[in-house]
Structure 1
Amino acid sequence: MSAVDPIANLRDLIRCPSVTPAEGGALSALEAMLSPLGFTVERMVATEPGMPDIENLYARLGTTGPHLMFAGHTDVVPVGDEASWSHPPFSAEIEGGEMFGRGAVDMKGGIACFAAAVARHIEEHGAPQGSISFLITGDEEGPAVNGTEKLLKWAADKGERWDACLVGEPTNPDVLGDMIKIGRRGSVSGKVTVHGVQGHAAYPHLADNAVRGLLPLAHALMHPRFDEGTPEFPASNLEVTTVDIGNPATNVVPAKASFAFNIRFNDTWTAETVQAEILRRLDAAAGDQTLRPGRDKVRYEIVWAERPSHVFLTRNNALISSLSGAVEAVTGRVPALSTTGGTSDARFIKDYCPVVEFGLVGQTMHMVDERVAIADLETLTQIYGTFLSRWFGDAAVS
């Protein structure tokens, strides 16, 4: 039966140059794996004014519940300096027990392994007592506007409903079996601009240095800490990510200064409450006269980045225990249940069903010479296969 070999699956996917927003043949390669297994495959193109069109894929096997979704993306980041690669980035060459190629771990490898696991499950046990779907986007590494979020709504509008979802992102920091992601921190970004009065550096009383106003505002956002963390999440953390004065002259007091920031926040906050706390801190700091003796309150404006990411935590024991048990059964390791790291498309899926993430080791993702151990492809396929048996078995008796 086709698709049973994760190495061949991944080779076919890597050889498709699907750098966002290009489909590059990757969805066609996946469709060729799934159709012979009995999946009904649909290709949905999402559009947005001013953005590139994105082709996405939705495939389903079965018509009844329970319904398990596997989600991920076939788009990849640019290769960077191609001359620095040991092997051409879309060649899928194997050397030293590793397959090289852009997307090997992030995340064509996860897709290749899950397709192989499903194929083996069908070969050994027949079709599952329920349904399996693949929800695969081509816009995860890009702006994520025409990808998973729109694909989910499109499928839900057609009547699709899911009981659980596994996202195949590379969650393991060091060794396969280290970590399952059961939630993600929220993320809010913004830009603060402080307005002053331009003038000569030798006559500061005639000017109002915007930098003197910027410093206490930036400091107030980074100190004190927003919280001390929760049992499931680390402490929320805000970082100033860039400062821009735009003043090439050394004898001119700048009239404008700005800084950008990002906060990753835990379940102590919502996007709305953390924004309110940021505004409270800025307003309090704006009236601080320590760096601006005799001056009026700092004049500032803030522009929030669009689409904050909301914090979430999955508490579905059947999903978590089925996956954790599968990892332990295959590797002997008890995976940590973590909420660390950045955001992923799981932030959209959480609104439709419980979701967890588990995939390959992510040490080389986005790097030159991205690569995956051949042995890990087989191990992950076995984990996914064991998970399928456990999850459908548990769902059948629940």
Structure 2
Amino acid sequence: MTDNPVENLAALIRCASVTPRDAGALDSLTAMLEPLGFAVERIAFAEDGTETVDNLYARLGKSGPHLMFAGHTDVVPAGNEADWSHPPFAAQIDSGMLFGRGAVDMKGGIACFVAAVARHLKSNGAPAGSISLLITGDEEGPAINGTRKLVEWASQKGEQWDGCIVGEPTNPNVLGDMIKIGRRGSMSGTLTVNGTQGHAAYPHLADNPVRALIPMLESLIDPELDSGTNRFPPTNLEITTVDVGNPALNVIPAKASASFNVRFNDTWTAESLRAEIERRLAEAGRDDRLRPGRDAADYTLVWRDRPSPVFLTRDETLIETLAGAVEARTGRRPELSTTGGTSDARFIKDYCPVVEFGLVGQTMHMVDERVALTDLEELTGIYETFLQRWFAV
């Protein structure tokens, strides 16, 4: 029965859809949606140097308001399957818990939303508007051939949405803790300082790049980039690697490099933050405290991949309707948060207001990923209440 979230989730987990493989997950989802009246389209995207990814877009109804549910059926690898107490793709139930890779991140959210739609249709008939599902197989991968292209494709064919829920596991401890109404931006770079290799006993004949790298990295951390905003914590820059590639203890290296990642708030755009980081590095590169008498450091800065933009959803109808549904079902008023990493909501925010709400995320990506059967039922109830209220507005 499609209105049973446990059965829906078990069917999805049994598809070993380790990114970017589909392994039948979208076939399974199609088999749930078509009997409910959804028109289902399957779209594969590819790009040079990447693997082809299967995606799904399904719509029920032709009028507005139009609600989108977005998510992904791909999962991270299970790791050493011998470490699992239950096989990661068997969807076994033990002591009120359903075990399996993707149980909470995020096949569980999809299973609950489909069950909620089935119950809504059974109780209320066709919705007073439209419901669509935008499902990718590329969220856990490079995110090139998934949601970004899928939402653009749908928009170009005339699809327009009034709001979107992404079913990622947003709750830290219990269902009803948190709704994500935005995300910090993310960008990464690699700094390489060039020096002159030499003997450690004759430093005047060499130029140690580490001496320049130290104040340059310090400049990225101190002073802090900002003190946060009303909805976002302070921007955080973490140095993630430092490397000189030098196995010899008596050799001054020829170059030293460091990589960093920044999670930034709405004080910045990607462009303004890049400019600030580049300004700091240029100034610190002239610092000769550790390199007296030397010229400014010779360095390169390479920005990595595509930056993820910061965004904040301000649509009170979408936020309040979901928060009210959560409170009605759980008795808890959810925190409206912008914490955590990036998600595919960053690709959707340019097309319609988007929020995120799903299961408790404590076991995501872990051995023995699992979800309580009671949480599956409760999340289905939250989504069902949301649908009733959304289409009654």
State the TM-score, normalizing by the size of structure 2.
1.00
Answering whether residue 188 of structure 2 is matched by residue 182 of structure 1, we say: no
Name structure 2 gaps, 5 residues minimum.
Answer: none
Partner of 1:265: 264
How do 1:363-378 residues align onto structure 2 when only pairs under 5 Å count? Answer: 363-378=362-377
How many Å separate the matches in 1 of 2:99 and 2:209? 50
Partner of 2:278: 279
Partner of 1:159: 158
Partner of 1:66: 65
How many Å separate the matches in 1 of 2:23 and 2:215? 48
Q: Does the residue aligned with 2:169 lie in a helix, a strand or coil?
A: coil
Note the alpha carbon deviations across 1:143-198, whole angstroms, 9 max, x for none: 00000000011111111111100000000000000000000000110000000000
More deviation, 216-225/82-91? 216-225
How many Å separate the matches in 2 of 1:296 and 1:392? 67
How many Å separate the matches in 2 of 1:50 and 1:385? 41
Q: Does the residue aligned with 2:306 lie in a helix, a strand or coil?
A: coil
Note the alpha carbon deviations across 1:299-324, whole angstroms, 9 max, x for none: 11000012100000000000000000
How many Å separate the matches in 2 of 1:356 and 1:46? 25
Q: Does the residue aligned with 2:91 lie in a helix, a strand or coil?
A: coil
Note the alpha carbon deviations across 1:273-296, whole angstroms, 9 max, x for none: 000000011011000011111111
Equivalent residue letter for 1:57: L
Partner of 1:85: 84
How do 1:1-398 residues align onto structure 2 when only pairs under 5 Å count? Answer: 2-394=1-393
Note the alpha carbon deviations across 1:90-113, whole angstroms, 9 max, x for none: 000001110000000000000000
How many Å separate the matches in 2 of 1:72 and 1:293? 55
How many Å separate the matches in 2 of 1:35 and 1:362? 29
Cα drift, residue 223 of structure 1: 1.2
How many Å separate the matches in 2 of 1:98 and 1:55? 30
Q: Does the residue aligned with 2:300 lie in a helix, a strand or coil?
A: strand
Q: Does the residue aligned with 2:324 lie in a helix, a strand or coil?
A: helix
Q: Does the residue aligned with 2:139 lie in a helix, a strand or coil?
A: coil
Cα drift, residue 213 of structure 1: 1.0
How many Å separate the matches in 2 of 1:338 and 1:232? 7
How many Å separate the matches in 1 of 2:32 and 2:223? 53
State the TM-score, normalizing by the size of structure 1.
0.98
Q: Does the residue aligned with 1:248 lie in a helix, a strand or coil?
A: coil
How many Å separate the matches in 2 of 1:290 and 1:390? 64
Equivalent residue letter for 1:88: P
How many Å separate the matches in 1 of 2:52 and 2:215? 43
How many Å separate the matches in 2 of 1:50 and 1:228? 40
Cα drift, residue 356 of structure 1: 0.1
Cα drift, residue 247 of structure 1: 0.5
Equivalent residue letter for 1:227: D
Equivalent residue letter for 1:332: G
How many Å separate the matches in 1 of 2:11 and 2:92? 11
Note the alpha carbon deviations across 1:79-133, whole angstroms, 9 max, x for none: 0111100000000000111000000000000000000000000001001010000
Note the alpha carbon deviations across 1:186-231, whole angstroms, 9 max, x for none: 0110000000000011100000001111111111111111010001
How many Å separate the matches in 2 of 1:110 and 1:49? 32
Equivalent residue letter for 2:6: I
User: Runs ≥4 in structure 1, deviation > 6 angstroms?
Assistant: none
Equivalent residue letter for 1:298: A
More deviation, 211-220/14-23? 211-220
Percent of aligned pairs sharing the same letter: 70
How many Å separate the matches in 1 of 2:114 and 2:222? 47
Equivalent residue letter for 2:19: T
Q: How many residue pairs end up in the alignment?
A: 393
How many Å separate the matches in 1 of 2:29 and 2:216? 50
Q: Does the residue aligned with 2:127 lie in a helix, a strand or coil?
A: coil
Name structure 1 gaps, 5 residues minimum.
Answer: none
How many Å separate the matches in 1 of 2:339 and 2:362? 15
Cα drift, residue 244 of structure 1: 1.1
Cα drift, residue 30 of structure 1: 0.4
How many Å separate the matches in 1 of 2:148 and 2:332? 33
How many Å separate the matches in 2 of 1:299 and 1:81? 45
Equivalent residue letter for 1:388: L
